[in-house]
Amino acid sequence: MSRGRAINAWLLLSIAVASVLTLIAVPESLRVLRPFWLALVLIYWTIEAPEHYGLGFAFALGLLQDVLVGTLLGEHAFRLAIIGFIVLRFRSRMRFFPMWQQALAVGALLLNDRIVVLLLRAIAGDFAIDWRYWLAPLVGAALWPWVFLLLDDLRSRGRQRES
């Protein structure tokens, strides 16, 4: 298997797992803790392979998420495009951050995403939120080191197999 095919296989697997984790039914009390899994996967692949996975990739992932979740077509695409743009802009810095600083940066990205969602929903007229709305970015930031290490390990194993 060529290097590109191995990376694409891990990419597709990570997108599939993130989509399944998004679709898994959880109790309402835990739903507010669910991180934006697809954003975590996008952040990883944009940091590690920006030449292949840029804004178009982020937009396409967002459209996939819109169809899977059943939201307004383009909402997740807009959100992921914003995240992808910010990651591409600061990729050279983020890549060399220690893991705890990367987790803080990912938390800031996910918090920015929550603000974007809040603005989109305010424009649409759905403005009711409570304090638990802000917990998901914290959970995503806490999970980032494990997500990063898992995806990085799988990607490096794929490279070792092909050589």
The model's confidence at residue 103, banded by pLDDT at 50, 70 and 90, is very high
102-13-36-139 Cα dihedral, nearest 10 degrees? -60
Decide if 14 contacts 45 (C-beta within 8 A). Answer: yes
Amino acid at 92: S
Angle formed by the axes of helices 37-48 and 75-94, to 10°? 40
- Check whether 132 has a pLDDT greater than 80: yes
How far apart CA 81 and CA 62 sit, in angstroms, is: 8
Question: What tens digit of pLDDT does each residue of 74-100 get?
Answer: 999 999 999 999 999 999 999 999 999
**Residue corresponding to tokens 């050279």:** 92
Side-chain-facing half-sphere of 114: CA atoms under 13 Å: 23
Q: Considering its fold, how many domains does the chain have in total?
A: 1
Of residues 10 and 141, more confidence is placed in 141
Domain range for residue 154? 3-162
| 138-163 per-position pLDDT tens digit | 999 999 999 999 999 988 876 666 65
Average pLDDT over residues 9-23: 92
